[in-house]
A and B are shown apart, each in its own frame.
Chain A
Amino acid sequence: MSPVPPILELRGVHKRYTVGAGLLARRRTLTAVSGVSLRLERSEVLGLVGESGCGKSTLARMILGLEEPSEGEVLLDGRPISRLGRLERGRLVQPVFQDPYSSLNPRRNVAAIIGLPLAVHGVGTAAERRDAVAEMLGLVGLAPRHAEAYPSQLSGGQRQRIAIARALVLRPTLVVCDEPTSALDVSVQSQILNLLLDLRERLGLSYLFISHNLAVVQMLAGRVAAMYLGRIVEEGEAERVLGHPRHPYTAALLASVLTPDPSLGLPEMRLGTAFPNPLSVPPGCAFHPRCPAVFDRCPREAPALLPCPEGGRAACHLIEQPEGGPPPPRLVQAA
């Protein structure tokens, strides 16, 4: 065993659900996550990107211990999550969810919301908990008077600060942020992103940062992983993945980021209208019906996640083609 295990390690994690089992309906298996292996080192920020339905939230739920993998293992700090007690787990990993309107109990005041993890796990005396809550309020940039407020009296940005304070009150090492700024206005989003950067520096936190917005991920993440229909299709240093994406899907995600530059029009994106359906994953490379660079090998054979010459890994037959070599792709008609 290495001296310092990664804060998070996923080993071949699968998650399958059975759906449609009813009268006359055939039982079908929905594979939400399919063989994901990832590592997240201490103090690192890993950005996880992909479209809705790609399995990124299911992955987050397994990392938080809210779902059990059908196969494979989730390790926190080198230990299997299934063997951790609730408090142990809570001190390692905590969530911040997307919608600060539905993730806070409207009938509890701010102090009770932030202090709840301490109360649930019976950590400290009542006075110690009060102090911890006051400290958290200061840490996330709220005034002591906010302790008595209720969520309905606060703005979206203030609510998200409370969600962050609640996540940090047990002093976890890893915070899973699932689209933490998607419900917020841009002027509030920038404040929350700045706060997350500050907290990481001050507390040495690690983030798994899930977002569909690559511009936001680029700002925070040191490493990036792109998911498509339950699989990691590309992973590596953020600079490399976002600067020189090797998987056509990552490139398409990147092309769909609309920067506010009026000299550029709407980018061309040749992804077609085929919507990815996790109930009928295409054979071979799951991305091939939408891929602009598809060739004859793609529908037949699923590409493995292989190291790229530039660093990181990508699951695409194209990376096995020599660069600058003869043009490989013989296009097939996408369905």
Chain B
Amino acid sequence: MSGTADLLLDVRGLEVDIPVAGGTLHAVRGISLAARRGETLCIVGESGCGKSLTSLALMGLLPPSAKRRAERLSFAGEDLLSASPRRLRALRGDRMAMVFQDPMTCLNPSLTIGDQLTETFLRHGKGNTRAARDRAVTLLERVGIAAAANRLGQYPHQLSGGLRQRVVIAMALMCGPDLVLADEPTTALDATIQLGILQLLAELQREMHMALVLVTHDLGIVARIADRVAVMYAGQVVEEGTVGDVFGAPRHPYTRGLMDCIPQPGRTVPGTRLGTIPGMVPSLVGELRGCSFRGRCPYAMPACAEPIALREGPDGHSWRCVLPAEALARAA
């Protein structure tokens, strides 16, 4: 299942620096990720952890002021670091597509749904207008939009939030991409609508044998949809592995802490206090040494101020923490 032929996205040591008033903000600090065909990888973390910048960096869509570096950044064996802007434009929307958080801001309010759906298809030379229209109708039906042919003439404001997000997903699928990168695709939606969108993404991912990279802050979504999960904190992946390993036996105190913060019906006793993570994320301006979580970590020790090596367990479970593996299991 994890053969190299299926490896679509291969990222090693990705860094994103942003110049700010007081120096350089190291927003993404040396992360490594892999997304395979037929697999769902979730990148999870809280605001400011660098998860959205990571997804933009992967797509080559960073703002001009941001600096990207990596040891390796390849898509289906092709080096994206040395690819020309023209080549990147040819790949984006065709073989790698993106679904953004807010469907209201990523749809053009002055163009019809039909125009926006067919645009990518026509631009990438996938066929004529007729074929583009047929493909748009097929995909709108596939994402659960009734009377799809009639919708093509409608404008974004005529659709509800849930329908708009379905349109955005259909748009991403127009050219039959190998990789879909979705950044918080359901955050603006109601839980009931969110569930429908997630089911749809999971189904399409299986059906089209794509790699799905889902960026979210919601551990509940991750648990239910991911094969693998990368937990980000302060610009680094602090823990990565199969969702069963990471959620079942977290090795990093931050992952453990996040799990304890969530109220869970049937498990959290009403009126009892939830776990908290005291303190704040450290500033990422300037050089950071050692574990960036140590200021908030209940297990912090002198060794945490030294550079933390990546440790590895079975099934590719890896984490950046000096604690013995049993320490957190006992605390749970």
Contacts and interface: CB of A to CB of B under 8 A. Distances in A.
Given A218-B263, A262-B247, A190 B195 contact: no
B244 interface: yes
A70 interface: no
A240 B218 CA distance: 27
A52 interface: yes
B265 A266 contact: no
Given A215-B264, A254-B265, A260-B222, A191 B146 contact: no
B192 interface: yes
Contacts of A257: 191, 220, 265
Interface in B171-203: 190-196, 198-199, 202
B280 interface: yes
A271 B192 contact: yes
A238 B217 contact: no
Nearest to B243: A262
A273 B162 contact: yes
A256 B191 contact: yes
A186 B191 contact: no
B270 interface: yes
A145 to B, nearest CB: 15
A262 B47 contact: no
Contacts of B261: 186-187, 189-190
Interface stretch (B10-18, B63-71, B271-279): B271-279
Interface string B56-80: 0000000000000000000000000
Contact of A218 (B160, B162, B196, B270): B270
Given A253-B191, A266-B202, A273-B146, A219 B244 contact: no
Given A215-B262, A257-B265, A275-B163, A220 B270 contact: yes
B268 interface: yes
Contacts of B6: none
A187 B248 contact: no
Nearest to A216: B263
A214 interface: yes
B219 interface: yes
A265 interface: yes
A20 to B, nearest CB: 14
A258 B218 contact: yes
B46 A186 contact: yes
- Which interface class (under 10, 10 to 19, 20 to 34, 35 or more) fits B? 35 or more
Contacts of A189: 261
A269 interface: yes
B124 to A, nearest CB: 29
Nearest to B273: A194
B195 A262 contact: no
Contact of A187 (B194, B225, B265, B277): B277
A260 B264 contact: yes
B224 interface: yes
B268 A275 contact: no
B262 A186 contact: yes
Residue with the highest number of chain A CB atoms closer than 10 Å, among B145, B222, B224, B280: B224
A185 B257 CA distance: 13
B295 interface: no
Contacts of A190: 260-263, 274-276
B225 A266 contact: yes
Interface in A264-288: 264-267, 269, 271, 273, 275
Contacts of B225: 266
A187 to B, nearest CB: 4
Residue with the highest number of chain B CB atoms closer than 10 Å, among A185, A187, A259, A269: A187
B285 interface: no
Interface in A188-204: 189-191, 193-194, 197
A52 B193 CA distance: 10
A191 B279 CA distance: 11
A219 B223 contact: no
Contact of A193 (B217, B220, B221, B274): B274
Nearest to A277: B160
B83 to A, nearest CB: 35
B258 interface: yes
A156 B260 CA distance: 20
A213 B190 CA distance: 9
Nearest to A264: B224
Interface of B: 46-47, 144-146, 160-163, 190-196, 198-199, 202, 217-226, 243-244, 247-248, 257-268, 270-277, 280
Given A219-B274, A264-B224, 17 more contacts: A52-B190, A190-B275, A193-B274, A194-B274, A213-B191, A218-B268, A221-B270, A239-B270, A252-B192, A254-B265, A257-B191, A259-B266, A260-B259, A266-B199, A266-B202, A266-B225, A269-B199
Cβ-closest 7 pairs across A and B: A258-B220, A190-B274, A190-B261, A256-B191, A185-B46, A260-B219, A187-B277
5 contacts: A186-B261, A255-B195, A258-B220, A259-B264, A275-B193
Interface of A: 51-52, 155-156, 185-187, 189-191, 193-194, 197, 212-216, 218-222, 238-239, 242, 252-267, 269, 271, 273, 275
